[in-house]
Amino acid sequence: MSDAFQPNLDFNAEEVEEREAFVVDLDGYEGPLHVLLALARTQKVDLLKLSITQLAEQYLAFVHEARRRNFALAADYLVMASWLAYLKSRLLLPRTEKGKGEEPPAEAMAAALAFRLQKLEAMRKAVEQLMARPQLKRDVFTRGDPEATVIVPSDRIDASLYELMSAYVTQRRREEARRYSPGQRVEAFPLEAARDWLREIMPRLADWTPLDQVAPRPEDPEGPSQASYTASTLSASLELVKEGAMDIRQTAPFADLYLKRRGLGQPLELTP
């Protein structure tokens, strides 16, 4: 039996003294009734034949001991102590003043307490018996790999021939749009040609001239596009700038680019 579920509920009558019951009690999860039950067991009698007077004495001794040790007892313990002291005194006194007040006879009160202890005792035994049973996932195990019921989908499927055709055509169209056709190779304006072109028109670039006016115009529809002419011309002009033949400027990001040939006798390195 594993310890996990096996609280030590058996207060062994031979061994348990009040002090031990006291310690158990101060675990903090039991009440005065539990203490009374523990004490009652030390009497080694059937709970029905319990001496309530004796039990009251035991309990009062327990409370006394607790106070001597400076343990702060919860209010319930003290209420129980005073009630038991009262019950004990009534049990011991001869019943001379019968009928006085509306209180039940002390014997009935004592029997009621014994009954309550019995009830609690029954529950504690129930716990023990329950814990002694084979428990699921501790002692007994169900199928480790149950076969979940398979839900077989209905045989009926909602798909028409039209949908099938439509699905086919749709993706063939998509396929067509995606297709790469090597016949449409883009012609580019070669960098070499752009450089030659720039050198050729250089004499006309005495003033700042916008790039798109410098780049050649496409003539052949099969030839390079305007964008290609412009891009290649720009690249070539940058090379000429590096060589010191041209200047290029742009006033702001994305603004027009201007080209101008560098004046003769004004080598870059001599500019003050």
Partner 1 sequence: MSDPSFQPDEAEIERRVEALLFAAAGPLSAAEIGARLPEGADVGRALSGLRARYEGRGVELDCVADRWRFRTAADLAFMMSQEREEPRRLSKAALETLAIIAYHQPVTRAEIESVRGVSLSKGTLDLLLEMGFVRLRGRRRTAGRPVTYGTADRFLEHFGLASLYDLPGVQEMKAAGLLDLSAPVGFELPDPSRATGADEEEAPLLDEDSPEFAQDFVGEER
Binders of partner 1 among 177-216, rule CB under 8 A? 178
Q: Which is nearer to partner 1, 96 or 154 (CB)?
A: 154
83 touches partner 1 (CB under 8 A): yes
As measured in angstroms, the least distance from the Cβ of 43 to partner 1 is 19
Beta bridge partners of 260: 247
As measured in angstroms, the least distance from the Cβ of 235 to partner 1 is 35
Q: What is the per-residue binding string for partner 1 in 12-51, x denoting contact by CB under 8 A?
A: -----------------xxxxxx-----------------
Window 111 to 170, contacts with partner 1 (CB under 8 A): 111-113, 115-116, 118-120, 122-127, 129-131, 133-154, 156-170
Q: Which is nearer to partner 1, 12 or 171 (CB)?
A: 171
- Choosing from 95, 172, 204, 249, the residue that interacts with partner 1 (CB under 8 A) is 172
- Choosing from 171, 213, 235, 266, the residue that interacts with partner 1 (CB under 8 A) is 171
- 266 vs 261: CA distance, rounded Å: 11
Token pair belonging to 9:
């509920």
Q: Which is nearer to partner 1, 155 or 207 (CB)?
A: 155
Reading across the β-sheet that carries 257-261, which strands appear in turn?
209-210, 257-261, 246-250
Give the chain's end-to-end CA distance (angstroms, integer): 100
CA 218 to chain centre: 64
Size of the site for partner 1 (CB under 8 A): 82
Q: Which is nearer to partner 1, 93 or 126 (CB)?
A: 126
As measured in angstroms, the least distance from the Cβ of 30 to partner 1 is 7
DSSP 8-state code for residue 186: P
Closest by CA to 235, choosing from 215, 265, 208, is 215
Window 63 to 82, contacts with partner 1 (CB under 8 A): 75-76, 79-80
CB 49 within 8 A of CB 55: no
As measured in angstroms, the least distance from the Cβ of 160 to partner 1 is 8
As measured in angstroms, the least distance from the Cβ of 183 to partner 1 is 12
**Neighbouring C-beta atoms of residue 111, cutoff 10 Å:** 15
CA 263 to chain centre: 73
Beta bridge partners of 250: 257
Token pair belonging to 221:
């529809």
- 246 vs 198: CA distance, rounded Å: 10
